[in-house]
A and B are shown apart, each in its own frame.
Chain A
Amino acid sequence: MSKKLDCSFRDPSGFLFRKDAILYRQINHSYKENYDYAKSSGLYDELIELGLLIPHEEVAVDCLDSDGFIVIKPVELPFISYPYEWSFSQLKEAALLTLNIQQKALSMGLSLKDASSYNVQLYKGKPIFIDTLSFEKPSPGQPWVAYRQFCQHFLAPLALMAKTDISLNQLFKTNIDGIPLQLASKLLPLTTRLNFSLAIHIHLHARTQSKNASKEIDENQLKGSFSITSFHAIIDSLKMAVLKLKWEPVGTEWHDYYDSNNNYTEASMSLKKDIVNEFLDMLSFRSAWDLGANNGTFSRLVAKNSDYVCAWDIDPACVEQNYRTITDSKTTNIYPLLLDLTNPVPAIGWNNKERFSFKERGPVDVTLALGLIHHLAISNNLSLDMIAQFLSEITFTLIIEFVPKSDSQVKKLLRNRNDIFNNYDIKNFELVFSQYFKTLGKRPIDNTDRTLYLMQVS
Protein backbone atom coordinates (compact mmCIF):
# COMPACT_ATOMS: atom_id res chain seq x y z
CA MET A 1 0.00 0.00 0.00
CA SER A 2 1.49 3.35 -1.09
CA LYS A 3 0.49 6.77 0.20
CA LYS A 4 1.65 10.18 -0.94
CA LEU A 5 2.65 12.44 1.95
CA ASP A 6 0.40 15.44 2.50
CA CYS A 7 3.35 17.76 3.13
CA SER A 8 4.88 17.10 -0.30
CA PHE A 9 2.87 18.86 -2.99
CA ARG A 10 4.41 22.25 -3.76
CA ASP A 11 7.26 21.20 -6.01
CA PRO A 12 6.22 19.43 -9.26
CA SER A 13 9.70 17.83 -9.48
CA GLY A 14 8.55 14.92 -7.33
CA PHE A 15 7.02 13.96 -4.01
CA LEU A 16 7.46 11.83 -0.91
CA PHE A 17 5.43 8.72 -0.34
CA ARG A 18 5.30 5.74 1.98
CA LYS A 19 5.10 2.16 0.89
CA ASP A 20 4.97 -0.56 3.53
CA ALA A 21 5.92 2.10 6.10
CA ILE A 22 9.15 2.95 4.24
CA LEU A 23 9.74 6.51 3.06
CA TYR A 24 10.50 7.05 -0.64
CA ARG A 25 10.73 10.01 -2.98
CA GLN A 26 9.44 9.85 -6.56
CA ILE A 27 11.36 11.99 -9.04
CA ASN A 28 9.38 13.14 -12.06
CA HIS A 29 10.49 13.28 -15.69
CA SER A 30 10.32 17.10 -15.50
CA TYR A 31 13.25 17.02 -13.05
CA LYS A 32 15.30 14.31 -14.80
CA GLU A 33 17.77 16.68 -16.46
CA ASN A 34 18.52 18.51 -13.20
CA TYR A 35 18.72 15.28 -11.19
CA ASP A 36 21.13 13.74 -13.67
CA TYR A 37 23.26 16.88 -13.66
CA ALA A 38 23.33 17.16 -9.86
CA LYS A 39 24.43 13.53 -9.80
CA SER A 40 27.01 13.63 -12.60
CA SER A 41 28.50 16.95 -11.45
CA GLY A 42 29.31 15.36 -8.11
CA LEU A 43 27.19 17.85 -6.16
CA TYR A 44 25.07 15.21 -4.44
CA ASP A 45 28.13 13.15 -3.49
CA GLU A 46 29.99 16.16 -2.12
CA LEU A 47 27.07 17.50 -0.09
CA ILE A 48 26.30 14.05 1.32
CA GLU A 49 29.94 13.41 2.17
CA LEU A 50 30.12 16.73 4.02
CA GLY A 51 26.96 15.85 5.95
CA LEU A 52 25.07 18.77 4.43
CA LEU A 53 22.46 16.82 2.46
CA ILE A 54 20.41 13.82 3.55
CA PRO A 55 21.82 10.66 1.90
CA HIS A 56 19.65 8.67 -0.50
CA GLU A 57 19.87 5.63 -2.72
CA GLU A 58 18.15 4.82 -5.99
CA VAL A 59 15.80 1.88 -5.54
CA ALA A 60 13.88 -0.47 -7.79
CA VAL A 61 10.46 0.60 -6.55
CA ASP A 62 7.68 1.43 -8.99
CA CYS A 63 6.74 5.08 -9.43
CA LEU A 64 3.28 5.98 -8.16
CA ASP A 65 2.25 7.57 -11.44
CA SER A 66 3.33 8.04 -15.05
CA ASP A 67 5.02 11.37 -14.27
CA GLY A 68 7.78 9.57 -12.39
CA PHE A 69 11.05 8.33 -13.84
CA ILE A 70 12.86 7.05 -10.75
CA VAL A 71 12.34 6.43 -7.02
CA ILE A 72 14.94 7.18 -4.37
CA LYS A 73 14.99 6.14 -0.74
CA PRO A 74 16.23 8.94 1.54
CA VAL A 75 17.50 8.23 5.04
CA GLU A 76 14.51 8.71 7.31
CA LEU A 77 14.83 11.21 10.14
CA PRO A 78 13.88 10.12 13.66
CA PHE A 79 11.92 13.31 14.32
CA ILE A 80 10.57 16.24 12.29
CA SER A 81 10.53 19.70 13.86
CA TYR A 82 9.58 23.13 12.53
CA PRO A 83 11.15 26.60 12.59
CA TYR A 84 8.58 27.89 15.08
CA GLU A 85 9.95 25.30 17.51
CA TRP A 86 13.63 26.10 16.98
CA SER A 87 16.05 28.12 19.03
CA PHE A 88 17.71 31.21 17.57
CA SER A 89 20.96 29.32 16.92
CA GLN A 90 19.23 26.42 15.22
CA LEU A 91 17.46 28.77 12.79
CA LYS A 92 20.71 30.67 12.24
CA GLU A 93 22.63 27.47 11.51
CA ALA A 94 19.86 26.37 9.15
CA ALA A 95 20.20 29.70 7.30
CA LEU A 96 23.97 29.33 7.00
CA LEU A 97 23.60 25.73 5.86
CA THR A 98 21.23 26.85 3.09
CA LEU A 99 23.67 29.53 1.93
CA ASN A 100 26.68 27.19 2.11
CA ILE A 101 24.81 24.68 -0.03
CA GLN A 102 23.84 27.44 -2.46
CA GLN A 103 27.51 28.48 -2.79
CA LYS A 104 28.58 24.91 -3.46
CA ALA A 105 25.75 24.44 -5.95
CA LEU A 106 26.68 27.64 -7.78
CA SER A 107 30.28 26.50 -8.09
CA MET A 108 28.98 23.41 -9.91
CA GLY A 109 26.60 25.26 -12.20
CA LEU A 110 23.47 24.66 -10.13
CA SER A 111 21.36 26.80 -7.83
CA LEU A 112 18.74 26.30 -5.14
CA LYS A 113 15.30 26.85 -6.62
CA ASP A 114 13.81 27.29 -3.17
CA ALA A 115 15.10 28.33 0.25
CA SER A 116 12.49 27.12 2.68
CA SER A 117 13.37 26.64 6.33
CA TYR A 118 11.23 23.47 6.20
CA ASN A 119 13.93 21.98 3.93
CA VAL A 120 16.28 21.87 6.92
CA GLN A 121 16.04 19.46 9.84
CA LEU A 122 18.18 18.56 12.81
CA TYR A 123 19.93 15.23 12.24
CA LYS A 124 22.67 13.74 14.39
CA GLY A 125 23.00 17.01 16.28
CA LYS A 126 23.47 19.21 13.19
CA PRO A 127 21.14 20.88 10.69
CA ILE A 128 20.90 18.96 7.42
CA PHE A 129 19.24 19.79 4.09
CA ILE A 130 16.50 17.29 3.29
CA ASP A 131 15.17 18.29 -0.12
CA THR A 132 17.19 16.40 -2.74
CA LEU A 133 15.16 18.02 -5.53
CA SER A 134 15.92 21.65 -4.68
CA PHE A 135 18.68 22.05 -7.25
CA GLU A 136 18.28 23.36 -10.77
CA LYS A 137 20.42 24.82 -13.52
CA PRO A 138 19.78 28.57 -13.31
CA SER A 139 19.10 30.35 -16.57
CA PRO A 140 22.00 32.66 -17.44
CA GLY A 141 21.48 36.21 -16.30
CA GLN A 142 18.68 35.36 -13.90
CA PRO A 143 18.69 36.64 -10.31
CA TRP A 144 18.12 34.13 -7.49
CA VAL A 145 14.50 32.94 -7.67
CA ALA A 146 14.56 31.96 -4.00
CA TYR A 147 15.91 35.31 -2.72
CA ARG A 148 12.53 36.44 -1.40
CA GLN A 149 11.88 33.06 0.20
CA PHE A 150 15.27 33.05 1.91
CA CYS A 151 14.60 36.51 3.37
CA GLN A 152 11.11 35.47 4.55
CA HIS A 153 12.19 32.12 5.98
CA PHE A 154 15.53 33.05 7.51
CA LEU A 155 16.74 36.63 7.49
CA ALA A 156 13.51 38.30 8.59
CA PRO A 157 12.74 35.90 11.48
CA LEU A 158 16.35 35.95 12.67
CA ALA A 159 16.45 39.75 12.57
CA LEU A 160 13.14 39.96 14.44
CA MET A 161 14.34 37.46 17.06
CA ALA A 162 17.65 39.27 17.54
CA LYS A 163 16.48 42.89 17.31
CA THR A 164 12.82 42.97 18.38
CA ASP A 165 11.76 39.96 20.43
CA ILE A 166 13.04 36.40 20.63
CA SER A 167 9.51 34.99 20.52
CA LEU A 168 8.79 36.36 17.04
CA ASN A 169 9.66 33.12 15.25
CA GLN A 170 6.13 32.21 16.35
CA LEU A 171 4.97 34.28 13.36
CA PHE A 172 5.88 31.23 11.27
CA LYS A 173 2.73 29.59 12.62
CA THR A 174 0.52 32.17 10.95
CA ASN A 175 2.70 32.59 7.85
CA ILE A 176 3.41 29.20 6.31
CA ASP A 177 5.76 30.67 3.67
CA GLY A 178 7.84 32.72 6.06
CA ILE A 179 7.38 36.13 7.63
CA PRO A 180 6.19 38.75 5.10
CA LEU A 181 8.88 41.37 4.65
CA GLN A 182 6.47 44.28 4.99
CA LEU A 183 5.48 42.93 8.40
CA ALA A 184 9.11 42.35 9.40
CA SER A 185 10.02 45.86 8.26
CA LYS A 186 7.24 47.35 10.42
CA LEU A 187 8.24 45.33 13.50
CA LEU A 188 11.98 45.89 13.37
CA PRO A 189 13.35 48.87 15.31
CA LEU A 190 14.21 52.03 13.38
CA THR A 191 17.91 51.54 14.09
CA THR A 192 17.94 48.53 11.77
CA ARG A 193 17.47 50.95 8.87
CA LEU A 194 21.03 52.09 9.58
CA ASN A 195 22.28 48.50 9.30
CA PHE A 196 23.33 48.16 5.64
CA SER A 197 22.41 44.47 5.24
CA LEU A 198 19.03 44.76 6.95
CA ALA A 199 18.29 48.07 5.25
CA ILE A 200 18.77 46.41 1.87
CA HIS A 201 17.48 42.87 2.33
CA ILE A 202 14.53 43.64 4.62
CA HIS A 203 13.48 47.29 4.51
CA LEU A 204 14.25 48.17 0.89
CA HIS A 205 13.18 44.67 -0.15
CA ALA A 206 9.78 45.16 1.55
CA ARG A 207 9.37 48.56 -0.08
CA THR A 208 10.33 47.25 -3.52
CA GLN A 209 7.85 44.41 -3.13
CA SER A 210 4.93 46.61 -2.18
CA LYS A 211 5.72 49.17 -4.90
CA ASN A 212 5.94 46.53 -7.62
CA ALA A 213 3.38 43.99 -6.49
CA SER A 214 1.08 44.50 -9.46
CA LYS A 215 3.80 44.94 -12.09
CA GLU A 216 4.20 42.27 -14.70
CA ILE A 217 7.51 41.01 -16.01
CA ASP A 218 7.63 39.56 -19.50
CA GLU A 219 9.08 36.17 -18.80
CA ASN A 220 9.55 35.23 -22.43
CA GLN A 221 12.29 37.70 -23.08
CA LEU A 222 15.58 36.05 -22.22
CA LYS A 223 19.24 37.02 -22.19
CA GLY A 224 19.88 38.72 -18.93
CA SER A 225 23.02 40.26 -17.59
CA PHE A 226 22.87 39.35 -13.91
CA SER A 227 26.40 38.01 -13.69
CA ILE A 228 27.56 35.02 -11.71
CA THR A 229 29.64 37.44 -9.61
CA SER A 230 26.45 39.32 -8.76
CA PHE A 231 24.87 36.00 -7.81
CA HIS A 232 27.79 35.13 -5.52
CA ALA A 233 27.75 38.67 -4.11
CA ILE A 234 24.04 38.41 -3.13
CA ILE A 235 24.66 35.09 -1.38
CA ASP A 236 27.75 36.44 0.37
CA SER A 237 25.87 39.56 1.46
CA LEU A 238 23.05 37.43 2.91
CA LYS A 239 25.59 35.27 4.70
CA MET A 240 27.26 38.30 6.28
CA ALA A 241 23.84 39.62 7.32
CA VAL A 242 22.98 36.32 9.02
CA LEU A 243 26.39 35.96 10.69
CA LYS A 244 26.08 39.42 12.26
CA LEU A 245 22.77 38.62 13.95
CA LYS A 246 23.30 37.47 17.52
CA TRP A 247 21.18 36.74 20.57
CA GLU A 248 22.27 35.76 24.07
CA PRO A 249 20.00 33.56 26.21
CA VAL A 250 19.64 35.72 29.33
CA GLY A 251 16.95 37.60 31.20
CA THR A 252 14.07 35.15 30.77
CA GLU A 253 12.08 33.55 33.57
CA TRP A 254 13.65 30.12 33.46
CA HIS A 255 17.14 30.48 32.01
CA ASP A 256 18.93 30.12 35.37
CA TYR A 257 16.39 27.96 37.19
CA TYR A 258 18.80 25.20 38.18
CA ASP A 259 21.47 27.67 39.30
CA SER A 260 19.52 30.13 41.38
CA ASN A 261 15.85 29.54 41.82
CA ASN A 262 14.95 25.96 42.48
CA ASN A 263 13.65 23.83 45.25
CA TYR A 264 16.56 21.42 45.54
CA THR A 265 19.73 21.08 47.53
CA GLU A 266 22.62 19.51 45.70
CA ALA A 267 21.93 16.22 47.51
CA SER A 268 18.24 16.10 46.66
CA MET A 269 18.96 16.99 43.03
CA SER A 270 21.45 14.15 42.92
CA LEU A 271 18.86 11.82 44.47
CA LYS A 272 16.27 12.93 41.93
CA LYS A 273 18.67 12.01 39.11
CA ASP A 274 19.33 8.62 40.74
CA ILE A 275 15.62 7.86 40.99
CA VAL A 276 14.99 8.88 37.39
CA ASN A 277 17.91 6.68 36.30
CA GLU A 278 16.54 3.81 38.35
CA PHE A 279 13.12 4.16 36.68
CA LEU A 280 14.71 4.40 33.23
CA ASP A 281 16.69 1.21 33.88
CA MET A 282 13.39 -0.61 34.32
CA LEU A 283 12.31 0.35 30.79
CA SER A 284 13.21 -0.44 27.22
CA PHE A 285 12.50 2.48 24.90
CA ARG A 286 13.50 4.19 21.67
CA SER A 287 11.72 7.55 21.73
CA ALA A 288 11.26 10.05 24.54
CA TRP A 289 9.91 13.50 25.28
CA ASP A 290 11.03 15.64 28.21
CA LEU A 291 8.27 18.18 28.92
CA GLY A 292 9.51 21.33 30.63
CA ALA A 293 13.07 20.20 30.00
CA ASN A 294 14.69 23.53 30.95
CA ASN A 295 18.39 23.20 29.99
CA GLY A 296 18.06 19.47 29.29
CA THR A 297 19.66 18.09 32.48
CA PHE A 298 17.22 15.18 32.63
CA SER A 299 16.93 14.82 28.85
CA ARG A 300 20.59 13.80 28.91
CA LEU A 301 19.80 10.95 31.32
CA VAL A 302 17.12 9.64 28.96
CA ALA A 303 19.27 10.14 25.87
CA LYS A 304 21.73 7.48 27.04
CA ASN A 305 19.24 4.74 26.21
CA SER A 306 16.98 6.30 23.58
CA ASP A 307 17.20 6.75 19.82
CA TYR A 308 16.11 10.33 20.38
CA VAL A 309 14.76 12.70 23.03
CA CYS A 310 12.85 15.90 22.41
CA ALA A 311 13.67 18.40 25.15
CA TRP A 312 10.61 20.65 25.05
CA ASP A 313 10.51 23.92 26.95
CA ILE A 314 8.48 27.12 26.87
CA ASP A 315 11.49 29.38 27.47
CA PRO A 316 13.52 30.38 24.36
CA ALA A 317 16.60 30.97 26.53
CA CYS A 318 16.50 27.43 27.93
CA VAL A 319 16.05 25.96 24.45
CA GLU A 320 18.93 28.10 23.19
CA GLN A 321 21.22 27.05 26.07
CA ASN A 322 20.31 23.42 25.53
CA TYR A 323 20.94 23.70 21.78
CA ARG A 324 24.37 25.22 22.43
CA THR A 325 25.13 22.43 24.91
CA ILE A 326 24.23 19.65 22.50
CA THR A 327 26.20 21.35 19.73
CA ASP A 328 29.29 21.82 21.93
CA SER A 329 29.13 18.28 23.29
CA LYS A 330 28.35 16.83 19.83
CA THR A 331 25.26 15.11 21.23
CA THR A 332 23.44 13.48 18.36
CA ASN A 333 20.05 12.44 19.71
CA ILE A 334 18.61 15.39 21.68
CA TYR A 335 16.27 17.87 19.99
CA PRO A 336 15.89 21.07 22.06
CA LEU A 337 12.54 22.52 21.00
CA LEU A 338 10.14 25.28 22.00
CA LEU A 339 6.71 24.32 23.26
CA ASP A 340 3.97 25.99 25.24
CA LEU A 341 2.31 22.87 26.59
CA THR A 342 -0.84 24.82 27.47
CA ASN A 343 -1.17 25.72 23.79
CA PRO A 344 0.64 22.96 21.89
CA VAL A 345 1.73 23.42 18.30
CA PRO A 346 -1.28 22.89 15.99
CA ALA A 347 -1.30 21.20 12.60
CA ILE A 348 -0.92 23.94 9.99
CA GLY A 349 -0.81 24.43 6.24
CA TRP A 350 -3.10 23.15 3.52
CA ASN A 351 -5.96 21.02 4.85
CA ASN A 352 -4.23 21.18 8.27
CA LYS A 353 -1.95 18.42 7.01
CA GLU A 354 1.25 20.07 5.81
CA ARG A 355 2.90 20.42 9.22
CA PHE A 356 2.11 18.04 12.03
CA SER A 357 0.70 19.09 15.38
CA PHE A 358 2.56 18.32 18.58
CA LYS A 359 0.36 15.34 19.39
CA GLU A 360 0.51 13.91 15.86
CA ARG A 361 4.23 13.39 16.33
CA GLY A 362 3.59 11.09 19.28
CA PRO A 363 2.95 8.91 21.14
CA VAL A 364 6.46 8.22 22.39
CA ASP A 365 7.77 5.39 24.53
CA VAL A 366 8.70 7.53 27.55
CA THR A 367 7.72 11.01 28.72
CA LEU A 368 9.30 12.94 31.57
CA ALA A 369 7.05 15.43 33.35
CA LEU A 370 9.33 16.72 36.10
CA GLY A 371 8.49 19.90 37.97
CA LEU A 372 5.62 20.45 35.58
CA ILE A 373 2.27 19.42 37.02
CA HIS A 374 1.85 22.44 39.32
CA HIS A 375 2.28 24.80 36.36
CA LEU A 376 -0.43 23.00 34.43
CA ALA A 377 -2.84 22.57 37.35
CA ILE A 378 -2.36 25.86 39.17
CA SER A 379 -1.04 28.36 36.61
CA ASN A 380 -3.34 27.08 33.87
CA ASN A 381 -6.35 25.85 35.89
CA LEU A 382 -6.24 22.36 34.35
CA SER A 383 -7.89 19.58 36.34
CA LEU A 384 -5.75 16.56 37.27
CA ASP A 385 -8.05 14.49 35.09
CA MET A 386 -7.36 16.64 32.02
CA ILE A 387 -3.62 16.41 32.62
CA ALA A 388 -3.68 12.63 33.13
CA GLN A 389 -5.80 12.07 30.03
CA PHE A 390 -3.54 14.25 27.88
CA LEU A 391 -0.39 12.51 29.09
CA SER A 392 -1.93 9.07 28.50
CA GLU A 393 -2.50 10.10 24.86
CA ILE A 394 1.08 11.16 24.15
CA THR A 395 3.12 8.44 25.85
CA PHE A 396 3.21 4.77 26.80
CA THR A 397 5.20 5.25 30.00
CA LEU A 398 5.49 8.30 32.20
CA ILE A 399 7.94 9.53 34.80
CA ILE A 400 6.12 12.26 36.65
CA GLU A 401 6.92 14.39 39.68
CA PHE A 402 4.10 15.43 42.00
CA VAL A 403 4.70 18.87 43.52
CA PRO A 404 2.36 19.54 46.51
CA LYS A 405 1.05 22.86 47.78
CA SER A 406 3.64 22.86 50.56
CA ASP A 407 6.42 23.18 47.98
CA SER A 408 7.98 26.66 47.71
CA GLN A 409 7.38 26.83 43.96
CA VAL A 410 3.65 26.14 44.40
CA LYS A 411 3.49 28.70 47.21
CA LYS A 412 4.90 31.24 44.77
CA LEU A 413 2.23 30.40 42.23
CA LEU A 414 -0.50 30.84 44.85
CA ARG A 415 0.98 34.00 46.37
CA ASN A 416 -1.24 36.49 44.57
CA ARG A 417 -4.35 34.48 43.87
CA ASN A 418 -7.11 32.58 45.63
CA ASP A 419 -6.45 28.91 46.24
CA ILE A 420 -9.33 27.38 44.32
CA PHE A 421 -7.55 24.06 43.89
CA ASN A 422 -9.18 21.94 46.59
CA ASN A 423 -8.49 18.68 44.78
CA TYR A 424 -4.82 19.37 44.19
CA ASP A 425 -3.14 16.95 46.62
CA ILE A 426 -1.18 13.72 46.38
CA LYS A 427 -4.16 11.53 47.27
CA ASN A 428 -6.28 12.91 44.45
CA PHE A 429 -3.30 12.85 42.10
CA GLU A 430 -2.84 9.12 42.65
CA LEU A 431 -6.57 8.45 42.38
CA VAL A 432 -7.04 10.38 39.14
CA PHE A 433 -3.88 9.10 37.45
CA SER A 434 -4.80 5.49 38.37
CA GLN A 435 -7.71 5.81 35.93
CA TYR A 436 -5.26 6.15 33.04
CA PHE A 437 -2.00 4.65 34.29
CA LYS A 438 -0.69 1.73 36.29
CA THR A 439 1.93 2.81 38.84
CA LEU A 440 5.17 0.83 38.51
CA GLY A 441 7.24 2.83 40.97
CA LYS A 442 6.87 5.56 43.60
CA ARG A 443 9.77 7.30 45.35
CA PRO A 444 9.71 10.43 47.55
CA ILE A 445 12.65 12.79 47.06
CA ASP A 446 14.34 13.25 50.45
CA ASN A 447 14.53 16.78 51.85
CA THR A 448 11.77 17.96 49.52
CA ASP A 449 8.00 17.53 49.56
CA ARG A 450 8.03 16.07 46.08
CA THR A 451 7.42 12.49 44.90
CA LEU A 452 8.47 10.74 41.71
CA TYR A 453 6.31 8.14 39.96
CA LEU A 454 6.90 5.68 37.18
CA MET A 455 3.63 4.93 35.39
CA GLN A 456 2.52 2.88 32.42
CA VAL A 457 -0.59 3.51 30.36
CA SER A 458 -3.16 0.96 31.48
Chain B
Amino acid sequence: MKFVRLLTILFVSLCYSQSAIAYLDPGTGSLLLQMLIAGIIGAMYTIKLYWYRLKIFVAQIFGIETESENTQDDDNLPGQD
Protein backbone atom coordinates (compact mmCIF):
# COMPACT_ATOMS: atom_id res chain seq x y z
CA MET B 1 0.00 0.00 0.00
CA LYS B 2 2.87 2.33 0.94
CA PHE B 3 4.56 1.47 -2.33
CA VAL B 4 1.42 2.43 -4.30
CA ARG B 5 1.21 5.71 -2.42
CA LEU B 6 4.86 6.48 -3.04
CA LEU B 7 4.37 5.75 -6.72
CA THR B 8 1.38 8.09 -6.80
CA ILE B 9 3.29 10.90 -5.17
CA LEU B 10 6.19 10.38 -7.54
CA PHE B 11 3.75 10.39 -10.47
CA VAL B 12 2.17 13.64 -9.35
CA SER B 13 5.53 15.24 -8.67
CA LEU B 14 6.49 14.50 -12.25
CA CYS B 15 3.23 15.84 -13.57
CA TYR B 16 2.49 18.88 -11.50
CA SER B 17 3.67 22.31 -12.48
CA GLN B 18 2.95 25.52 -10.66
CA SER B 19 1.44 28.19 -12.85
CA ALA B 20 3.60 31.30 -13.06
CA ILE B 21 1.05 33.45 -11.23
CA ALA B 22 -1.05 30.89 -9.32
CA TYR B 23 -1.65 32.30 -5.87
CA LEU B 24 -3.90 29.62 -4.42
CA ASP B 25 -2.50 26.64 -2.58
CA PRO B 26 -4.13 23.80 -4.48
CA GLY B 27 -3.43 21.35 -1.65
CA THR B 28 -1.30 18.24 -2.10
CA GLY B 29 -4.18 15.90 -1.33
CA SER B 30 -6.49 17.67 -3.76
CA LEU B 31 -3.97 17.34 -6.58
CA LEU B 32 -3.33 13.69 -5.75
CA LEU B 33 -7.03 12.93 -5.68
CA GLN B 34 -7.61 14.47 -9.08
CA MET B 35 -4.82 12.35 -10.53
CA LEU B 36 -6.21 9.25 -8.86
CA ILE B 37 -9.81 9.70 -10.01
CA ALA B 38 -8.97 11.01 -13.48
CA GLY B 39 -9.11 7.49 -14.95
CA ILE B 40 -12.52 6.43 -13.66
CA ILE B 41 -14.16 9.83 -13.95
CA GLY B 42 -12.62 10.33 -17.39
CA ALA B 43 -13.99 6.96 -18.53
CA MET B 44 -17.48 7.77 -17.21
CA TYR B 45 -17.33 11.14 -18.93
CA THR B 46 -16.30 9.60 -22.24
CA ILE B 47 -19.13 7.04 -22.07
CA LYS B 48 -21.57 9.85 -21.27
CA LEU B 49 -20.27 11.90 -24.17
CA TYR B 50 -20.73 9.06 -26.66
CA TRP B 51 -24.11 8.15 -25.19
CA TYR B 52 -25.25 11.73 -25.68
CA ARG B 53 -23.97 11.77 -29.24
CA LEU B 54 -25.72 8.44 -29.93
CA LYS B 55 -28.97 9.89 -28.59
CA ILE B 56 -28.62 12.91 -30.86
CA PHE B 57 -27.85 10.66 -33.83
CA VAL B 58 -30.85 8.41 -33.20
CA ALA B 59 -33.09 11.40 -32.56
CA GLN B 60 -32.01 12.95 -35.86
CA ILE B 61 -32.77 9.73 -37.75
CA PHE B 62 -36.31 9.69 -36.37
CA GLY B 63 -36.69 13.47 -36.58
CA ILE B 64 -37.23 13.86 -32.84
CA GLU B 65 -36.24 17.13 -31.21
CA THR B 66 -33.56 16.58 -28.60
CA GLU B 67 -34.21 17.43 -24.99
CA SER B 68 -33.13 20.83 -23.62
CA GLU B 69 -32.11 22.20 -26.97
CA ASN B 70 -31.22 25.89 -26.70
CA THR B 71 -31.70 25.87 -22.96
CA GLN B 72 -29.20 26.74 -20.29
CA ASP B 73 -28.91 23.03 -19.49
CA ASP B 74 -27.52 22.46 -22.94
CA ASP B 75 -24.30 23.96 -21.69
CA ASN B 76 -24.16 21.26 -19.07
CA LEU B 77 -23.94 18.51 -21.59
CA PRO B 78 -20.55 17.06 -22.33
CA GLY B 79 -18.74 17.98 -25.48
CA GLN B 80 -20.71 21.14 -26.02
CA ASP B 81 -17.95 23.60 -25.34
Residues of A within 8 A of B (CB): 10-13, 30-31, 34, 96, 100, 103-104, 106-107, 113-114, 136-139, 141-149, 151, 200, 204-205, 208-213, 215-219, 221-227, 229-230, 232-234, 236-237, 239, 243
Contacts and interface: CB of A to CB of B under 8 A. Distances in A.
B63 interface: no
Contacts of B29: 148, 205, 208-213
Interface in B23-64: 23-24, 26-38, 41-42, 44-46, 48
A209 B37 CA distance: 14
A151 to B, nearest CB: 8
A229 B30 contact: no
5 contacts: A139-B18, A204-B33, A210-B29, A212-B29, A224-B17
B12 A149 contact: no
Contacts of B12: 217
Given A222-B17, A232-B78, A143 B42 contact: no
Q: What's the interface size class on B, roughly?
A: 35 or more
B15 A142 contact: yes
Nearest to B79: A232
Given A113-B19, A217-B13, A224-B14, A145 B26 contact: yes
A104 B32 contact: no
B81 interface: yes
B30 A208 contact: yes
Given A31-B21, A139-B17, A205-B33, 18 more contacts: A13-B23, A104-B75, A139-B18, A139-B19, A144-B26, A145-B24, A147-B33, A147-B34, A149-B24, A209-B29, A211-B29, A212-B9, A218-B13, A223-B14, A229-B45, A230-B34, A233-B42, A234-B37
Contacts of B45: 229, 232-233, 236-237
B14 A212 contact: no
Nearest to B14: A221
B76 A243 contact: yes
A99 B74 CA distance: 13
Contacts of B4: none
Contacts of B19: 113, 136-139, 142, 145
Contacts of B42: 227, 229-230, 233
Contacts of B36: 208
Given A12-B23, A217-B12, A236 B30 contact: no
